[in-house]
Amino acid sequence: MASSRLMSYRTTACAAKVLPALAVVLLWPQTLSASFIVNGGFEQPAIVDNWMNVSGGSTFITGWTAADGGVQLVKQGAHAEGNQHLDLQIYGSGSVYQDITGLVPGQEYTLSFAMSALIYQTGIFSMDVYWNQPTGPYVLAGTFQWDPDKHTQQAYPNLGFQWDYHQLTLTATASTMRLKFKDASNLLWGVQLDDVRLEPVPEPSCAVLLGGLCVCAAGRNAVRGFRRRTHVPSRE
């Protein structure tokens, strides 16, 4: 009988303490999922016309600096997310970059973004992604392509852009890193960019360790609680 009561107390007390702890562990990776990118959907500022040219050197786009041949904010057509996206060209290959702060040196981050182009343009679209310290030379992290032949026809002028998502794992070498997207196609029309995100890669070992600590602490506290309620002498 005493054994049953002991088991009942332990089960109830342990569940009351372990379940909230496990909830924290399960939600822990989600707390790391906030993107470090400012205005990754190019929604700010909102433009009135269907498109707006942004010259190289301009900081008109919130969080971003246009470079090289300039870029174009686009409201017309289908977007990967939100109501606007970016065309990485005006009259020649353009680029855009952002200096990202608050990073942890040595930490890996997952970069994700949506890429598209105009289907009726002949040729394969290419975009270079650079990742380096703001004061250092540009370091190419990857090149991505969009092939019109692998996508269905888009209707002009509705511009039903078809978006492909890409991911790239990047490692921070400083607390502030520069992320740059550059049109590498040299075609009449530019690469379309949208929904840029940078999120830390969670380390499973940390989550397992945290879960173990929470469970051990909960079990220890449950036994102490039972001793207090049943007046079982402590051996500590």
Helix (H, G, I), strand (E, B) or coil at 227: helix
What is the pLDDT at residue 205? 57
Question: Is it the case that residue 215 has pLDDT exceeding 80?
Answer: no
Q: Which helix (H) or strand (E) holds 1?
A: none
pLDDT of 12: 44
Per-residue DSSP letters for 209-233?
HHHHHHHHHHHHHHHHHHHHHHTPP
Mean pLDDT of 97-105: 98
Torsion sign, CA atoms 204, 205, 207, 208: positive
- Computed over every residue of the chain, the mean pLDDT equals 79
The domain defined by 51-200 folds into Jelly Rolls (2.60.120)
- In angstroms, the Cα distances linking 114 to 16, 127, 200 are 44, 11, 18
pLDDT score of 96 more than 80: yes
The DSSP element (H or E) to which 100 belongs, if any, is: strand 94-100
Q: Of all helices (H) and strands (E), which one includes residue 55?
A: none
**Order of strands across the sheet with 164-171?**
51-54, 71-74, 85-87, 192-200, 108-116, 164-171
**The two structure tokens encoding residue 86:** 């970016």
Task: Kindly tell me if the per-residue pLDDT of 76 is higher than 80.
Answer: yes
Please say whether the beta carbons of 77 and 161 come within 8 A: yes
As given in the structure block, the two tokens for residue 89 are: 């060209």
Predicted local confidence at residue 14, as pLDDT: 42
The single residue listed with the structure tokens 């051996």 is: 235
**Distance from CA of residue 160 to its chain's centroid?**
25
**What percent of the chain stands above pLDDT 90?**
55
Q: Look-up: residue for tokens 């550059």?
A: 182
